């Protein structure tokens, strides 16, 4: 038998292709793996032509799999799981507790079927509470999208479809189409047209699926390309930077669901934690002097290092004292002194760092910054009711600075804390006007910052208003079409997207991390993000990190 693979392969991520395309040697290896599972303890019944990725975490008292059922890479399958015929637990999914799947059940990537629960009576700590398990029952012909959570005790009837990101807390009758948190029944699936045309190979969602598979397959190589000892560079030949480490963590989490290959997550987290200055709580660049609130790089590291630590299961070692110690009057003076009319991007960058520091101190240390309310009060009172942004257009770059600054300022505040924007319709008008500026956008132009700074406000405003949404979707489709043709094999995306000799045109970690997140935002604005099979969880996460300041 050949040596065990050093990383997941194609069939681990697309297990349904295995029995039609695998070599005899690969089939023999899979059958050996199944025999080892059956001999490892517990009750294991595997029908013909099933596939269980060696990279899945299978630890069951009882596992039953019907014919042509599959478990993908990095899935977690534990306790008592029964799968009927033609079922798939896609990569990174979880099935724990007492789980019963009928025939023809598809469970999307990153979805959790949690057939158990803790009691949480106040008489003892949660970790000492008894476990309960009513179990989860899922009928025949059910499609559960990516990033869904199904909680213990739920029954999902035959022929249901559950939209991506739903949290299913109650039973759903047969033929339900459901979505949301908590999930609610939207309609009867039989109300859809009796027959839908087959998907074309050129359909956008099909091409997104192909792109995501390609990116996952090449993720280990593009990360290794920028590896420099125990650190990373943005691209080969560049200097090692703290951001490059964080970008590597984000890319690996997004595409592989794990720390970068060859890295120990806990060790990497400790190295990042050790970079924090204990006095200010800021993280300087390698070799730089003491950080301060005037240090643009240190301000961005509040975002990049903080979220990288989240993804590694850790957090900052110290509060961000530089923000925690700001009095409300001092913060307002600093905000008033920022160059909003001439440098709105840099001003928004500073607000983004401050807002994220408020979040880190609240969530990590239970410390509420005295100036937190002053920050949001200033932003609400200074937003221009005519165009929705902060700052003003310039003679040279017109709306570019205010739009870019709006993205940064709103990302670290309203978006990150799940709060409504002050003037969403006027913001959409202004951002769409900027998106038509041919100096910055076109078939061969629009770097990662410029495109992100348009799509995120459009996507965020669409959570509050449908104002001119069709125009925003047309723009998003054009950018997504452009993006899909710019991936460079084994290297990823360049920041500028178009290839060339200068640094922004060379593929690297920053460009790859940003464009992967941008691809999700563009696709989600068009309603096809599920085809990518991933959802950003770091700096560019779409979900609020916290709801409000309470």
Q: Is there a contact between 357 and 302 (Cβ–Cβ < 8 Å)? A: yes
Active site residue 118: yes
- Which residues face 398 on adjacent strands? 394
Query: Which residue out of 33, 118, 434, 467 is catalytically annotated?
Result: 118
Radius of gyration of the chain from its Cα atoms, rounded to whole angstroms:
24
CA–CA distance, 218 with 180 (Å, rounded to integer): 33
Relative to beta strand 176-179, strand 184-188 is antiparallel
For the chain, the 3-state helix, strand and coil shares in percent, each to the nearest 5, are 40, 15, 45
Alpha carbon separation from 211 to 319, 347, 542 (Å, rounded): 40, 35, 20
CA–CA distance, 306 with 412 (Å, rounded to integer): 13
| DSSP character string of 261-288 | TT--HHHHHHHHHHTS-TTT---PPTT-
Q: Which residue has the tokens 């029964």?
A: 82
CA–CA distance, 208 with 371 (Å, rounded to integer): 43
Q: Which of 209, 152, 150 is nearest to 178 (CA)?
A: 150
Q: Is there a contact between 71 and 34 (Cβ–Cβ < 8 Å)? A: no
**N-terminal to C-terminal alpha carbon distance within the chain:** 58
Q: Which of 77, 96, 86, 110 is nearest to 19 (CA)?
A: 86
CA–CA distance, 75 with 101 (Å, rounded to integer): 16
Find the largest Cα–Cα distance for the chain.
Answer: 73
CA–CA distance, 44 with 39 (Å, rounded to integer): 8
Helix (H, G, I), strand (E, B) or coil at 74: coil
Cα four-point dihedral sign 466, 464, 375, 278:
negative
3-state secondary structure 85-136: CCCEECCCCEEEEEEEECCCEEECCCCEEEECEECCCCCCCHHHCCEECCCE
CA–CA distance, 181 with 46 (Å, rounded to integer): 35
Q: Which residue has the tokens 């913060």?
A: 331
CA–CA distance, 302 with 306 (Å, rounded to integer): 6
3-state secondary structure 175-195: CEEEECCCCEEEEEHHHCCCC
Alpha carbon separation from 130 to 79, 120, 370 (Å, rounded): 16, 9, 40
Residue numbers annotated as active site: 118
């Amino acid at each position: 038998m050949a040596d065990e693979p050093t990383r997941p392969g194609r069939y681990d991520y697309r297990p349904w292709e295995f029995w039609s395309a695998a070599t005899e040697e690969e089939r023999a290896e899979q059958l050996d793996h199944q025999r080892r599972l059956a001999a490892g303890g517990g009750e294991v019944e595997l029908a013909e032509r099933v596939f269980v990725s060696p990279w899945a975490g299978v630890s069951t008292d009882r596992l039953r799999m019907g014919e042509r059922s599959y478990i993908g890479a990095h899935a977690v399958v534990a306790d008592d799981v029964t799968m009927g015929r033609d079922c798939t637990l896609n990569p990174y999914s979880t099935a724990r507790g007492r789980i019963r799947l009928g025939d023809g059940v598809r469970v999307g990537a990153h979805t959790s079927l949690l057939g158990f629960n803790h009691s949480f009576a106040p008489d003892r700590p949660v970790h000492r509470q008894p476990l309960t398990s009513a179990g989860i029952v899922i009928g025949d012909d059910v499609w559960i999208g990516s990033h869904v959570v199904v909680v213990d005790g739920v029954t999902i009837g035959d022929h249901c479809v559950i939209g991506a990101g739903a949290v299913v807390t109650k039973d759903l009758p047969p033929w339900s189409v459901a979505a949301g948190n908590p999930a609610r029944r939207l309609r009867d699936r039989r109300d859809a047209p009796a027959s839908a045309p087959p998907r074309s190979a050129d359909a956008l969602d099909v091409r997104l699926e192909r792109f995501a598979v390609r990116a996952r397959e090449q993720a280990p190589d593009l990360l290794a390309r920028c590896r420099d000892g125990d650190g990373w560079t943005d691209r080969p030949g560049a200097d090692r930077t703290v951001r490059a480490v964080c970008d590597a963590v984000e890319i690996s989490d997004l595409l592989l669901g794990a720390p970068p290959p060859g890295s120990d997550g806990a060790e990497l987290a400790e190295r990042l934690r050790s970079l924090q200055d204990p006095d200010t709580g800021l993280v300087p660049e390698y070799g730089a002097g003491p950080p301060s609130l005037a240090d643009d790089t240190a301000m961005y590291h509040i975002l990049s290092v903080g979220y990288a630590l989240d993804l590694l299961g850790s957090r900052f070692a110290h509060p961000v004292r530089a923000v925690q110690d700001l009095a409300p009057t001092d913060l307002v003076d600093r905000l008033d002194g920022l160059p909003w009319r001439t440098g709105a991007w840099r001003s928004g960058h500073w607000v983004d760092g401050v807002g994220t520091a408020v979040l880190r101190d609240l969530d990590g240390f239970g410390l509420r910054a005295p100036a937190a309310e002053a920050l949001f009060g200033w932003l609400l009172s200074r937003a221009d009711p005519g165009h929705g942004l902060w700052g003003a257009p310039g003679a040279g770059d017109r709306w570019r600075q205010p739009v870019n600054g709006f993205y940064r300022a709103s990302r670290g505040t309203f978006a990150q804390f799940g709060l409504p924007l002050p003037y969403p319709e006027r913001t959409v008008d202004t951002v769409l006007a900027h998106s038509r500026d041919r100096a910055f956008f076109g078939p061969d132009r629009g770097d990662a910052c410029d495109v992100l700074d348009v799509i995120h406000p459009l996507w965020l405003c669409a959570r509050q208003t449908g104002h001119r949404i069709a125009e925003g979707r047309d723009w998003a489709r054009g950018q997504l079409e452009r993006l899909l043709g710019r991936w460079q094999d084994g290297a990823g995306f360049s920041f500028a997207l178009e290839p060339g000799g200068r640094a922004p045109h060379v593929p690297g970690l920053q460009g790859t991390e940003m464009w992967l997140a941008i691809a999700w935002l563009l696709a989600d604005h068009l309603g096809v993000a599920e085809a990518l099979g991933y959802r950003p969880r770091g700096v560019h996460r779409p979900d609020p990190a916290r709801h409000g300041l309470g």
